[in-house]
């Protein structure tokens, strides 16, 4: 019969026990969120406030939260931010501990991390390493994410929206599925910013140009090969107030070349509401300039 490892003297058994204890501790602040056809995970971020993955939360009402002790309690949606994939819920915590938050800034490729989630059946976890730890980036919806953190691990079913913790049990971010279903971590600093705005206003403001846009290819004699054509204008919006016209082609935004609609979309973040933008235009084939004061996108 094979000898059973002694968890006190065997280093691998000791590592296993400590990992299990770390997950058990972190899971005390992680809940399961039933907000649609599938269950996802959530983090007790502040007293009475849960953070979960916006993309995975399929409805805005009739949301239930399963606590670690098996009880199920109702929750209400405080707000969504698709640009950072953060949704915020309110509920009655009834003694549920708040997650211990850490800073994702020091993370480097190779650091060990654990994704901790909760399914209706109990705790779920995946262990791996940080595969990529890069600078700030913008999501396809235009949100600023403070760091690019890609995890080399397989996220368990229902684990999206759960906690990404370090070896000290601190929550460094929230696990989400990115392009090609790669596992990303939204850093705590990004989530904190989104939580503040969602609790205050119920939504995260986005800057508003007030124009419908379409990418176009310019003639070979022009210095910029591509630009963005204005195909429609809100008569009450910032573009109209700045004197922009349907048919204008935007070639530069604050001195940066514009070649795709996404270039402008990404510039319309929350921090740019109320700022002035210098535009280089082509109007009837002739260069023009304009200054637009960006507004706040109306809530549809």
pLDDT tier, 297 (very low <50, low <70, confident <90, very high otherwise): confident
CA torsion sign for 254, 257, 263, 264 is positive
The reply to whether 1-204 and 207-296 are identical in fold is no
| pLDDT tens digits, one per residue of 136-162 | 998 877 788 999 999 999 998 899 999
Residue 262: predicted pLDDT: 82
Residue 10: predicted pLDDT: 83
Alpha helices in 173-241 (DSSP H): 188-201, 238-241
Note the CATH number of domain 207-296.
2.30.42.10
Q: Is the model more confident about 191 or about 4?
A: 191
Kindly write down the DSSP assignment for every residue of 273-284, as one continuous string.
TT-EEEEEEEET
CA angle 287, 292, 298 (to 5 degrees): 135
Q: How far apart are CA 209 and CA 190, in angstroms?
A: 24
| pLDDT tens digits, one per residue of 113-128 | 999 999 877 999 999 9
**pLDDT of 14 strictly over 90:** no
Residue 40: predicted pLDDT: 95
The CATH architecture annotation of domain 1-204 reads Beta Barrel (2.40)
Domain residue limits, the chain: 1-204, 207-296
Residue 200: predicted pLDDT: 92
| pLDDT tens digits, one per residue of 237-249 | 999 999 999 999 9
Q: How far apart are CA 171 and CA 67, in angstroms?
A: 18
Residue 271: predicted pLDDT: 77
């Amino acid at each position: 019969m094979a000898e059973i490892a002694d968890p006190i003297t065997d280093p691998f058994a000791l590592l296993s026990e400590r990992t299990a204890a770390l997950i058990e501790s972190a899971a005390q602040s992680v809940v399961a969120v039933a907000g649609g056809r599938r269950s996802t995970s959530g983090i007790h971020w502040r007293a009475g406030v849960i953070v979960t993955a916006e993309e995975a939360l399929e409805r805005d009402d009739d949301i239930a939260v399963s606590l670690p002790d098996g009880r199920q309690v109702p929750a209400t949606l405080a707000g969504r931010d698709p640009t950072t994939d953060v949704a915020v819920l309110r509920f009655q915590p009834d003694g549920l501990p708040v997650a211990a938050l850490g800073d994702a800034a020091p993370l480097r490729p190779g650091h060990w991390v654990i994704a901790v989630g909760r399914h209706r059946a109990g705790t779920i976890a995946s262990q791996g390493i940080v595969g990529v730890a890069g600078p700030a980036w913008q999501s396809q919806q235009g949100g600023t994410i403070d760091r690019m953190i890609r995890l080399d691990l397989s996220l368990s079913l229902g684990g999206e929206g759960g906690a990404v913790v370090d070896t000290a049990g601190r929550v460094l971010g929230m696990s989400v599925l990115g392009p090609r279903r790669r596992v990303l971590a939204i850093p705590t600093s990004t989530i904190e910013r989104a939580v503040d705005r969602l609790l205050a206003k119920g939504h995260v403001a986005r800057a508003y140009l007030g124009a419908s846009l379409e990418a176009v290819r310019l003639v070979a004699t022009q210095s910029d090969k591509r630009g963005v054509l204005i195909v429609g204008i809100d008569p009450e919006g910032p573009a109209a107030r700045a004197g922009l016209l349907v048919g204008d082609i935007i070639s530069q935004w604050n001195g940066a070349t514009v070649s795709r609609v996404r270039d402008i979309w990404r510039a319309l973040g929350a921090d740019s509401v109320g700022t002035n933008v210098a535009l280089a235009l082509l109007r009837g084939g002739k260069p023009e300039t304009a200054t637009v004061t960006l507004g706040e996108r109306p809530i549809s």
